Structure 1
Amino acid sequence: MNDMAPINPNSKNPYLKGLYAPVMEEVSADKLEIIGEIPRELHGGYFRNGPNPSSSPKGMHHWFDGDGMLHGVWFENGSARYKNRFVQTHDLKTGGADAMPGIFERSADRDGRTVHYRDTANTDVVYHNGNLLALWYISGQPVAVDAHTLETIRIENFNGKLPRNISAHSKVDATTGELVFFDYALYEPKMWTGTVSATGALTHFQEIELPGPRLPHDMGMTENYTILHDLPVIFSESAIRNRLWQIHVADQPTRFGVLPRKGGAPKWFEFPTCYIYHVINAWEEETPNGTEVVMAACKMVPNGFSPDPQYGAYSAMADVLALRAQPFIWRMNMATGEGREEQLDDAVSEFPVVDSLKTGRKTKHSYHVVFDDCIEQRFSGLVKYNLETGASERHYFPKGVFGSEPVFVAREGGDDGFLITFTTDLAGQSEVHILDTEDMSAAPVARVKLPQRVPLGFHGTWAPGV
């Protein structure tokens, strides 16, 4: 008779411990300790989303399975306050991990629908129509969150008019206030795109036919166009059984479909096979040969690691999550149909951001994370790119300190401004660092001490004036 306790399958899961270990307490704290001085012109909130299991996983757990948790820091008159709150998704409120399958589990029928992955709204967060929207990677129900309190308001269906779901990396046009979004199906050769007005009314929705099912992650948006990604990666149940959850189809080209934001057939541009997680920005340029739609993004490259046996059954997951990419620019001429691909730099960076008030318009700079030399996804610094020349400047965190995707807040009338990021160290202490982008190598102009650890996570946004 074997009296030994069963081995916990998550004992070797790197994304449930250390820098990634979940926090269970929802904290509110005012008048945070500040080292240095918060610039007086900073008035608004920095918010970051990420996976945070609300209970201990009982089976195999993928990092993406964690319930969404928002961390927010508000700045006003040189002071700062902090809150964190779980995003109250439908799946969390109806049982969470105990009721819905995760990435490593087979699909299941729940609540009259087929659930492939639990919908956690843990991936991105955008600011639209006066609220935050927490969004999920595999196209889920957007969740409206109060930008002042982080309390969940509702599952957002735009007055009952949203036909399907919204994928994580949808875009907000700060000039018009519109939300431009996309959606896709895991098993059908289709994609959808739509627009929601500044006041929350669905104004456009259309279906796009594809050669086969796809697993895109992001999209581009310019003043007049939407850019959809037909990339050679698909969802695969057999890959899930091998702890991968996706497979590449290397003999197919990468295609970008450029279509008017108000509707119309896409014009497709073919490029060499690649995969893209995150778009930097997109815009339009007038040339003697017609309008060029320009998209800058981070193109995936091999990560250089081998599966590490220390992670046991999670070695394949760790390898897939070790994202490495380089910045590229694609130019697509709407008159001639010509497409050109240009590499901006051969250095590795990811999780790019620009001034959110200029998304869809040409920006001079972008800001990316720099990866630590580790198979686990952690960021040891930040890099500022000049998108016109490829020139770059770097800022490294102190040894043992790791950052989050930042937000950029411009000085009025200038190209430079302030870069804001959460940091967490190996001892479990978290801060907010504020950098002056005119001198990326300098120490932060301010460090804000936080009352609890902020686990490493995913994407963030800036909401001005909240």
Structure 2
Amino acid sequence: MADDAAVARRISTGELTGLNTLNPYLQGLYEPVAVETTALELKVIGEIPKDLHGSFVRNGPNPHEAPEGMHHWFDGDGMVHAVYFENGKAEYRNRYVGTDDYRAEMAGLDIGAGGVLRPSAKSRPDSKRGELVYKDTANTDLVFHNGSLMALWYISGKPVRVNARTLETLGNETFGGALPRHVSAHGKVDPRTGEFCFFDYSLTEPWMTYGVVDRNNVLTNFQRVDLPGPRLPHDMGLTENYVVLHDLPVVFTEGGLRNHMWQIKVADQPARFGVAPKHGTGDQIKWFETDTCYIYHVANAWEDGDEVVMTACMMTPNGFPPNPEYGPYASMVNVLALNAVPVEWRMNMVTGEVRKRQLDDRIGEFPVINLDYTGARSRWSYHVSMAHEELQRFDGLLKYDLGTGQAQEYKFAEGLGGSEPAFAPRIGATSEDDGYVIVFATAPDGTSEVQVLNAQDFDKGPIARIPLPARVPAGFHGTWAPGDQIAA
């Protein structure tokens, strides 16, 4: 795609009209950027280690036009920001994800899709979108598999392949035409086998599915799991032999289903985790009931004797009442004020017992690990710490010891907003935390930088800071793509 202002129209507070002048998630730290940028010669404050080789990439919402109707932060077009490291140097790029819906709108077509705060496509009798009732943005996560990235969407959409260095959109991924339906955002790659394991769900039907794609991009298993009703899961766990699916008590209201609106509630029912054999059938799933809760993001899962262990961030009340200053966006702002703590669940596959242990009471989210340890016992997890503010702002990073719950802390400079980090193993690494933690940070004046921390000297702060030529708005998830595995 061209690197000029014609790619996107500038969205600024001055262009916002109507109720969107009250929408804080289109302004300040969250304001979308206007153009796609490439910068191959970046200034470095400090020194980039020469044993750091690969791409740090992060996804997030970035509307290509100023919204005219009610707009939820989650509805923006996917845009990926990336810094590629090699031989002590760095390159920066940002690109839109070329989903079918993005390309259609850029061609001037009405895609007929709704948004989280607007009626879905199902409210239009002439809609031909099927289960894609909202705009498919691929704006949520990035998974590195088979030499390139897949940009994924949290409501389950079409995976979009993206070059991990250039960010060029390569096209929709169907796994050789074998993908039966869609893929939700938080799939996992098993580093031992190269398999991509994913889940999918329906907004209105009582089932989930999970699937396995091998290292050569061949779909080898796809299973349906029946549920008591429609569910809205967000993540999953993966171990060597199992997937861990989430049946959580956040569901659509009857009015939401009837009116085709994103209206949800917390139902009076326990949370359930379903442990299913990765290469088995859906009816072999074993369910474990636990306290009512919601989970956005899993840190890791593994097998320990008879137990399947999962560590994740468990949501707790944020304590903020809806603020009338935001008008009709007060409820959105309130829900987006994440408040979660790290929790470990142990599920005994023999006795059916489940044990829960809260690791810490500090508020944090967006956990990441050394991806070489996905599905295996791991010690370290890196989380963002949350500023105690109404708007979602990451004010620092936490390095957790998942055994003891103790954490080292690094805080950004005053007012900066960070993003989900990624762990990059050092070339020739000899231990789990032998490498670097990389993160984007944006200041109130709109300047952005990427920071590189030595994971084994975490609380000392960055060993390198790289000012960027473009602002990086607050966004969602990122990952690390090893340089020697990025396909040419």
TM-score normalised by length of structure 2? 0.91
| Structure 1 residue 115 displacement after superposition | 4.1
> Residue 239 of structure 2 aligns with which residue?
222
Paired residue secondary structure (1:11): helix
| Structure 1 residue 410 displacement after superposition | 2.9
2:444 to 417, 426, 430: 426
**Residues 341 and 112 of structure 1: CA distance in aligned 2, closer, same or farther (over 3 Å):** closer
- Comparing 239-248 with 299-308, greater Cα deviation is found at 239-248
Paired residue secondary structure (1:95): helix
Question: Cα deviations across residues 408-464 of structure 1 (Å, max 9, x unaligned)?
Answer: 123401232211000100000000001112222213100011111000000000000
Contact 1:254–1:274, Cα closer than 8 Å, also in 2? yes
**Residues 9 and 243 of structure 1: CA distance in aligned 2, closer, same or farther (over 3 Å):** farther
Paired residue secondary structure (2:335): helix
Give 1 or 2: higher helix fraction.
2
Question: Cα deviations across residues 209-245 of structure 1 (Å, max 9, x unaligned)?
Answer: 0011100000000011000001011134745989964
> Residue 444 of structure 1 aligns with which residue?
462
Q: Structure 1 runs of 4+ off > 6 angstroms?
A: 240-244
Paired residue secondary structure (1:215): coil
Contact 2:114–2:135, Cα closer than 8 Å, also in 1? yes
> Residue 383 of structure 1 aligns with which residue?
398
> Residue 319 of structure 2 aligns with which residue?
304
Paired residue secondary structure (1:140): coil
Question: Cα deviations across residues 74-132 of structure 1 (Å, max 9, x unaligned)?
Answer: 00010000110000001111127953211112122544525421110000001011110
The separation in 2 between residues aligned to 1:9 and 1:440, in whole angstroms, is: 43
Report whether the alignment pairs 1:259 with 2:276: yes
The separation in 2 between residues aligned to 1:117 and 1:236, in whole angstroms, is: 18
Report whether the alignment pairs 1:127 with 2:144: yes
The separation in 1 between residues aligned to 2:84 and 2:127, in whole angstroms, is: 38
The separation in 2 between residues aligned to 1:243 and 1:266, in whole angstroms, is: 31
Question: Cα deviations across residues 366-401 of structure 1 (Å, max 9, x unaligned)?
Answer: 010001121111100000100011111100000011
> Residue 10 of structure 2 aligns with which residue?
none
| Structure 1 residue 337 displacement after superposition | 1.5
2:167 to 147, 150, 154: 150
> Residue 119 of structure 2 aligns with which residue?
106
> Residue 462 of structure 1 aligns with which residue?
480
Paired residue secondary structure (1:10): helix
Contact 2:245–2:273, Cα closer than 8 Å, also in 1? yes
Paired residue secondary structure (2:102): helix
The separation in 1 between residues aligned to 2:183 and 2:254, in whole angstroms, is: 22
- Comparing 372-381 with 229-238, greater Cα deviation is found at 229-238
Return the letter of the residue paired with 1:199: N
Q: CA RMSD in A?
A: 1.7
Question: Cα deviations across residues 169-223 of structure 1 (Å, max 9, x unaligned)?
Answer: 0111122111000001111110000001111110000100001110000000001
| Structure 1 residue 347 displacement after superposition | 1.4
1:178 to 179, 184, 195: 195
> Residue 232 of structure 1 aligns with which residue?
249
Q: How does 1:18-417 map to 2 (within 5 A)?
A: 18-95=28-105, 99=111, 100-108=113-121, 109-113=126-130, 115-236=132-253, 238=255, 245-249=263-267, 251-264=268-281, 265-286=284-305, 291-411=306-426, 412-416=429-433, 417=435
Return the letter of the residue paired with 1:13: N
The separation in 2 between residues aligned to 1:55 and 1:78, in whole angstroms, is: 37
**Residues 262 and 319 of structure 1: CA distance in aligned 2, closer, same or farther (over 3 Å):** same
Paired residue secondary structure (1:320): helix
Question: Cα deviations across residues 273-299 of structure 1 (Å, max 9, x unaligned)?
Answer: 11100001000112xxxx211000000
Return the letter of the residue paired with 2:274: G
| Structure 1 residue 60 displacement after superposition | 0.3
Paired residue secondary structure (2:101): helix
**Residues 239 and 370 of structure 1: CA distance in aligned 2, closer, same or farther (over 3 Å):** farther
The separation in 2 between residues aligned to 1:317 and 1:239, in whole angstroms, is: 16
**Residues 110 and 375 of structure 1: CA distance in aligned 2, closer, same or farther (over 3 Å):** same
Unmatched 5+ stretches in structure 2: 1-15
The separation in 2 between residues aligned to 1:69 and 1:7, in whole angstroms, is: 23
Paired residue secondary structure (2:158): coil
The separation in 1 between residues aligned to 2:481 and 2:446, in whole angstroms, is: 27
**Residues 376 and 234 of structure 1: CA distance in aligned 2, closer, same or farther (over 3 Å):** same
**Residues 92 and 188 of structure 1: CA distance in aligned 2, closer, same or farther (over 3 Å):** same
Question: Cα deviations across residues 332-365 of structure 1 (Å, max 9, x unaligned)?
Answer: 1112211111111111110000001111111111
| Structure 1 residue 303 displacement after superposition | 0.7
* Paired-residue identity, %: 55
The separation in 2 between residues aligned to 1:114 and 1:293, in whole angstroms, is: 33
The separation in 2 between residues aligned to 1:300 and 1:148, in whole angstroms, is: 34
**Residues 295 and 404 of structure 1: CA distance in aligned 2, closer, same or farther (over 3 Å):** same
The separation in 1 between residues aligned to 2:62 and 2:397, in whole angstroms, is: 24
Contact 1:73–1:82, Cα closer than 8 Å, also in 2? yes
> Residue 3 of structure 1 aligns with which residue?
none
The separation in 1 between residues aligned to 2:132 and 2:254, in whole angstroms, is: 13
The separation in 2 between residues aligned to 1:325 and 1:39, in whole angstroms, is: 33
The separation in 2 between residues aligned to 1:445 and 1:237, in whole angstroms, is: 52
- Comparing 98-107 with 125-134, greater Cα deviation is found at 98-107
Unmatched 5+ stretches in structure 1: 1-5
Contact 2:394–2:417, Cα closer than 8 Å, also in 1? yes
Paired residue secondary structure (1:85): strand
Contact 2:311–2:342, Cα closer than 8 Å, also in 1? yes
The separation in 2 between residues aligned to 1:456 and 1:7, in whole angstroms, is: 22
Return the letter of the residue paired with 2:92: Y
